[in-house]
A and B are shown apart, each in its own frame.
Chain A
């Protein structure tokens, strides 16, 4: 935890320097977080070219908008990852990338939740989120995680989970509301 805090402080310092046009700080920031960011973009897009483009665009956005960061938007890392995630989703939509559940995909989500995902989330200090995800029904949780990590649309989810689209929509909606109530407790 102390390690996480020290890292966020360092990222905050770098972001502050970037806001003032410091290129060296920008490069350091890139070196620190590009691996995590690229991992996320790649996981979402499922392809290298789009993930690279999203990473580039995200950093360009960070360079121009570093001054707009404030603490209400979460920790610096979370803010930057959000930028990358939205950009990846935008590009996926623009290019009409269609996500399909490969044979291993659903199991993969499943595995992560019980294995590495849970462990890493605990490590990242996200015990509350993990705990609350556990309270959701399995389909609610899978729908949310597939949307988050893979950018699945309602259509794609309906196909992947072999369920009507209306049902999928309500799993997501109810799942999210339940998640919020739990996180607010």
Chain B
């Protein structure tokens, strides 16, 4: 279909009005993505026809609406887990054995790569980290990772993550530049996982930018250090 100025003008108006529907609407949305000229035409109509909303009578929404908005935005099915960095794991021989193995394991686990995610840079004072936990031969990332600096939260959204084997759980770790990994708790695959980082954990993560996931007995590592195989190691990127 030809993108003549008249056609753009007419379709943009109908798009904003809402009378453009179905495949034609989706086709036009693609035009919008491709061309700033088309977007500007849409903005013209959004602004001008938007004036019509000034005449609509106000109506007070039920209180529950705000509560549901808050719930959807900030409640992650209960309370965000606190990073367990205040009680450092006992330095068991196992932990001592484990630590030097990280880099080797990470290399051996060549199936793991990290990808950069393109996101709108938010005006924040310190770097915001982002990345993905991916696995070779799986098209989608297993989890998408993002850090919100306003409230020191790390968020993992499962995309293609599969349930762990029976009787096991995934556990998320910060791999610091030095010292033992810090547990960020058991990582569910059923929903978004949010963890509030303590200052120490945030500091460690902003230096190393490395996360790992290990397979642990149900309920997480009994020792406070990873005990099972390290399934994924990923490096986060600054946005």
Contacts and interface: CB of A to CB of B under 8 A. Distances in A.
A11 interface: no
B61 A55 contact: yes
A164 interface: no
A136 to B, nearest CB: 13
B150 A20 contact: yes
Interface stretch (B52-60, B106-114, B208-216, B218-226): B52-60
Contacts of A176: 10, 13-14, 17
A126 B120 CA distance: 33
Interface string B28-68: 00000000000010011011111111111111111011101
B14 A30 contact: no
A121 B61 contact: no
A170 to B, nearest CB: 11
B122 interface: yes
B69 interface: yes
Taking chain B's interface residues, is the majority helix, strand, or loop, or is none over half, making it mixed?
helix
Contacts of A103: none
B78 to A, nearest CB: 19
Nearest to B67: A56
Given A35-B61, A52-B62, A55-B61, A116 B50 contact: no
B104 interface: no
B21 interface: yes
A125 B52 CA distance: 11
A183 interface: yes
A97 interface: no
B18 interface: yes
* Chain A at the B interface: SS class: helix
A152 B17 CA distance: 10
Nearest to A156: B19
B64 to A, nearest CB: 8
B167 to A, nearest CB: 37
Nearest to B151: A21
Nearest to A74: B47
Given A55-B61, A172-B14, A153 B53 contact: no
Contacts of A40: 53, 56
A81 B124 CA distance: 27
A82 B66 CA distance: 19
Interface residues of A, number: 62
B114 to A, nearest CB: 24
A38 B60 contact: yes
Q: Which of B62, B69, B72 has the most CB of A within 10 A?
A: B69
A16 B60 CA distance: 25
B16, B43, B51 — most chain A CB neighbours (10 Å): B51
A82 B124 CA distance: 27
Given A38-B60, A149-B56, A180-B9, A56 B65 contact: yes
Contact of A81 (B19, B44, B53, B59): B53
Nearest to A64: B73
Contacts of B124: 20-21
A82 B44 CA distance: 12
B46 A35 contact: no
B68 A173 contact: no
A68 B120 contact: yes
25 contacts: A34-B61, A36-B56, A38-B59, A38-B65, A39-B59, A40-B56, A52-B61, A52-B62, A59-B69, A67-B120, A75-B47, A89-B18, A116-B55, A124-B54, A125-B51, A126-B51, A129-B48, A129-B52, A149-B52, A153-B19, A153-B21, A176-B13, A176-B17, A179-B48, A183-B48
Those 5 A-B pairs whose CB atoms lie nearest each other, nearest first: A124-B54, A74-B47, A21-B150, A78-B50, A126-B51
Interface of A: 19-23, 27, 30, 34-36, 38-40, 42-43, 51-52, 55-56, 59-60, 63, 67-68, 72-75, 78-79, 81-82, 85-86, 89, 93, 112, 116-117, 120-121, 123-126, 129, 144-145, 147-149, 151-154, 172-173, 176-177, 179-180, 183
